[in-house]
Structure 1
Amino acid sequence: MTQEIHTQEAQSANFTEIKIEDTTPATKNEKGSWCLVIC
């Protein structure tokens, strides 16, 4: 369980960085935008 929480924290931090870099309208779809970058 600790790993899951840690992963979520890491993803949140990563997403924040991506969100700052990616200022495109796609940011409206937070989860979608993040998945697009990672996937």
Structure 2
Amino acid sequence: MKNKVILLLGTVLFWLAQVNISNACVITHYEPKVPDCLR
């Protein structure tokens, strides 16, 4: 059971990190080498 909880937390944290990175790219959008932000 602990493994499932840890896996769930890891997934949530990873997803939040992705969202934060996307938001940072949208807000700043001054990195021309990261076209994935514009998708």
User: TM-score, normalising length from structure 1?
Assistant: 0.53
Give unpaired runs (5+ residues) of structure 1: 24-39
Q: Where do 4+ consecutive residues of structure 1 move more than 6 Å?
A: none
User: 1:21 maps to what in 2?
Assistant: 26
Give unpaired runs (5+ residues) of structure 2: 1-5, 29-39
Alignment of 1:28-39 (within 5 A): none
* Pairwise CA RMSD: 0.7
Q: How many residues align?
A: 23
How far the C-alpha of 1:10 sits from its partner, in A, is 0.3
The superposition leaves residues 1-39 of structure 1 with CA deviations (integer Å, 9 ceiling, x where unpaired) of: 11000000000111110000112xxxxxxxxxxxxxxxx
Q: Whose Rg is larger?
A: 2
Does 2:26 align with 1:10?
A: no
Counting helix residues as a fraction of each chain, which structure ranks higher? 1
